[in-house]
Amino acid sequence: MIDRLLYKNMQDAIHKGKAVIILGARQVGKTTLLNQFQREYTQKILLLDGDEPDIRSRLTNPTSTALKQLIGEYKMVLIDEAQRIENIGITLKLITDKLPDVQLIVTGSSSLDLANQINEPLTGRKFEYLMFPMSIKEMLDYHGIIEEKRSLETRLIFGMYPDIITHPGNEKELLKQLTNSYLFKDILTYKEVRKPEMVERLLVALALQVSSEVAYHEIGQTIGVDPVTVEKYIQILEKSFVVFRLSSYSRNLRNELKKSRKIYFYDNGIRNAIISNFSPMALRDDIGKLWENFLMSERQKQNHYRTYYANIYFWRTAQQQEIDYIEEHDGQLSAFEFKWNPKKKHFPATFLKAYPKATASVIHPNNYLEWLNITGLQDVENL
């Protein structure tokens, strides 16, 4: 059993008069987390699966009387796959308001519908968390630093989904199943996706451009849709926890690019499955892209789980000077360059001159674990 970082955060949030909402992509471990609650809590727990038709029927527009009959003496109610239940937000509000002694814990495999349904009804009544594929911190806690360093190439190629980690040797088949059977399940059935084949083409284009700047009009020309549709589909991919965007940072210099964006995948394995490339590192020409995407996704997991709130950016000038990643936290800038080769430690002098109070660090295979496993950079060399 690999302990999930989110479990402690959820424990801290229960019995405080609010529902606990867990959003995340399919197969990241949400149901396993609910099962762990069932095993470890001594109080009676009611588990309701939104994939079951009769459960959906009973939780769709019920009266408070019907909910009281359903829940009975249970003091904790777990609802899995809640996005499958129509008007679930109103139902959750009724439980929270009419049954204040009942702790609700709710999971959803997509924020496309669930977040929209719960945000207004549960205003001020919920704690909301994101759940990601496994994180490096979780793996370090599970089997230690030596084993995790040995697994770096596997992480870069096959990613961090729980099934991938727990079934070594079957990574390719599992990732193909994951992308074909689960990844598109929420996306391609969403009402605003009128051209499913374009979403698949878009994913391929984004996978090939990962770590590079993305222009919607160029992608639109490549896949045959207008830029507005490209942006709409990217927003859907974000809400399905497939990709996330990074905007450019600009404060001082006239030649800083102000409206650029990059797009990263939450998981390297999903990215590689989309382009059907599981070649070993020695045979690849995209090592830098894999390294950057891996570090970006792992940093987002760590920041979320340790509730470290920072604005995130990249930086680039018209003269092609670039910094991979910037965090702005409480007015302090921290800039990071991601280098697969530890000997490459060049940092743009233009940035250091324009932002002299910023810290500047290079993250490479010799120090990435320290960067991903701690708050701050005490063990990571600064420039």
The pLDDT tens digits for 100-132 are 999 999 998 765 566 667 777 888 889 999 999
In a shared domain, residues 272 and 286: yes
d(CA 184, CA 170): 21
**Residues of the chain above pLDDT 70, percent:** 91
Return the sign of the alpha-carbon dihedral for residues 108, 113, 119, 121.
negative
Mean of the pLDDT values across residues 134-156? 95
In a shared domain, residues 271 and 172: yes
On whether the CB atoms of residues 82 and 107 are closer than 8 A, the answer is yes
In a shared domain, residues 304 and 191: yes
Out of 116, 131, 146, a domain closes at: 131
d(CA 206, CA 214): 8
In a shared domain, residues 279 and 177: yes
The pLDDT tens digits for 266-324 are 999 999 999 999 999 999 999 999 999 999 999 999 999 988 889 999 998 877 788 99
Out of 84, 113, 131, a domain closes at: 131
Residue 378 lies in a domain: no
CA angle 155, 156, 158 (to 5 degrees): 60
d(CA 287, CA 156): 9
| Structural domain boundaries, residue 143 | 136-373
What pLDDT sits at residue 166? 95
Mean of the pLDDT values across residues 219-233? 91
Could you give the number of structural domains in the chain? 2
What pLDDT sits at residue 383? 47
Residue 49 lies in a domain: yes
Of 287, 339, 213, residue with least CA distance to 360: 339
In a shared domain, residues 157 and 264: yes
Residue 369 lies in a domain: yes
CA dihedral 202, 207, 209, 214 (to 10 degrees): 40
Residue 153 lies in a domain: yes
CATH of the domain at 123: 3.40.50.300
Residue 383 lies in a domain: no
On whether the CB atoms of residues 23 and 129 are closer than 8 A, the answer is yes
Angle between helix 196-208 and helix 227-239 axes, rounded to 10 deg: 80
Residue 57 lies in a domain: yes
In a shared domain, residues 274 and 354: yes
Chain centre distance of CA 336? 20
Token readout for 236 is 């859907």
Q: What is the pTM assigned to this prediction?
A: 0.91
In a shared domain, residues 126 and 144: no
CA angle 172, 173, 174 (to 5 degrees): 95
In a shared domain, residues 243 and 294: yes
In a shared domain, residues 183 and 38: no
In a shared domain, residues 13 and 77: yes
In a shared domain, residues 97 and 26: yes
d(CA 205, CA 189): 21
Instruction: Say yes or no to pLDDT of 55 above 90.
Output: yes
What pLDDT sits at residue 114? 66
Pairs from 38-44 (Cβ < 8 Å, separation ≥ 24) = 38/78, 41/76, 43/75, 43/76, 44/73, 44/74, 44/75, 44/76
Instruction: Say yes or no to pLDDT of 14 above 60.
Output: yes
Token readout for 50 is 């939104």
Token readout for 25 is 């992509």
In a shared domain, residues 178 and 224: yes
CATH of the domain at 347: 1.10.10.10
Out of 113, 131, 149, a domain closes at: 131
Residue 154 lies in a domain: yes
Residue 15 lies in a domain: yes
- The residue that leads in pLDDT, 308 or 264, is 264
- The residue that leads in pLDDT, 188 or 69, is 69
d(CA 320, CA 22): 40
